[in-house]
Amino acid sequence: MPVGTAATVKGISTPQLEQTGARMVLANTFHLHLQPGEAVVAEAGGLHRFMGWDGPLLTDSGGFQVFSLDAINRIDDDGVVFRSPRDGSRIDLTPERSMAIQRALGADVAMAFDQCPPYPASEAAVAEACRRTHHWLERCVASHGGGGGSSHQALFGIVQGGCFPHLRAESARVVAAMDLPGIAVGGVSVGEPVEEMHRVVRQLGPLLPEGRPHYLMGVGSLREMAIAVANGFDLFDCVLPTRLGRHGTALVAGERWHLRNARFRHDHSPLDPSCRCLACRRHSRSYLHHLFRSEELLGRTLLSLHNLTTLLRFTTAMAEAIGQGCFAEDFAPWEPGSPAAHTW
């Protein structure tokens, strides 16, 4: 899922987004609550119509952003009180409030309101966050209409537990027992060593209930997605492709190329000859270099498009390999230096 924080994948129009191969898009509840406010989105007929995107949409719960703020006044079992980074006003966010906001936004999938502890955090702090997350999940389910599947919006629960295997196992058991239509793993990609994330993915894969989507939150690098898919994960989101693109970095052949670099000034070949995105089809490395040297908006759009296209080609190739029975051979274990890695 490309990330469309404020109801737009930064710098990319919806027709361009469709051309990347994107199927499902994530939007951020916290940002949309602050601007334009869920009431405006609801008036427009919901997020799909507001942003002009017909495909599936998922909203996060807002919790991740709130817990990243410096302006938190209070966290307790009821919820979180913080100051709006927009105008300093007091905002209370509770499981019920998050569900109500997400209901008004009207995405296809809403996420449960959870507490995502930072990394590193003590075992006691992570255990406390798990306990609260599980308590909040019950309230989310009750508020959402029971069972997590209102007719128009699915509710996904979130497994926490940091890097503590027994807390992860316990959280997976509790969340799986809620029998929701999808299940997510949070608390990864928060600064932990990548090996820790691999351990969590490998531990949880077999513990999550089959027959419904498994969503690994905040992960979007090729290797980590391949390892997660090998362990049964289906959904990912990551701001990296668009953020890198806006800053002049392209994902090419498994590397990060900085297009501002002088070595591209006279390089008139396509960015990635294997890619069919607009940047690669119509333009050269030299032109992209020039756009970034000139601080032109088009450079940001083109590299964002390219990076999203690359990630989505990769996930599509994994899906096709699964369908053809050759995933294990082609992608798992997918490590830098392996033949599969080389082609990406």
Strand partners, 59: 27, 110
Identity at 1, one-letter amino acid code: M
Task: Report, in Å, the least distance between residue 14 CB and its own copies.
Answer: 6
Catalytic positions are 60, 237
Task: Report, in Å, the least distance between residue 105 CB and its own copies.
Answer: 13
Task: Report, in Å, the least distance between residue 1 CB and its own copies.
Answer: 18
Residue 8 vs 150, nearer CB to its own copies: 8
Residue 198 vs 290, nearer CB to its own copies: 290
DSSP state of 60: -
Residue 117 vs 245, nearer CB to its own copies: 245
- Phi-psi group of 52: left, alpha or beta (phi > 0 → left; psi -120 to 50 → alpha; rest → beta): left
Residue 269 vs 343, nearer CB to its own copies: 269
Residues 305, 309: Cα–Cα separation, whole Å: 6
Pairing of strands 109-111, 72-75: unpaired
Tokens 């409030």 appear where?
97
Task: Report, in Å, the least distance between residue 6 CB and its own copies.
Answer: 4
Task: Report, in Å, the least distance between residue 176 CB and its own copies.
Answer: 37
Q: Please report, as ranges, the residues that interact with its own copies according to CB under 8 A.
A: 6-8, 10-16, 31, 35-36, 40, 43-45, 50-52, 265-266, 268, 278, 282-284, 286-287, 289-291, 293-294, 296-298, 300-302
Residue 214 vs 289, nearer CB to its own copies: 289
DSSP codes, 76-138? -SS-EEEE-TTT--EEEE-HHHHHHHHHHHT-SEEE-------SS--HHHHHHHHHHHHHHHH
Query: Contact, 249 vs 271, CB < 8 A?
Result: no
Cα 342 to chain centroid, rounded: 25
Residues 169, 182: Cα–Cα separation, whole Å: 17
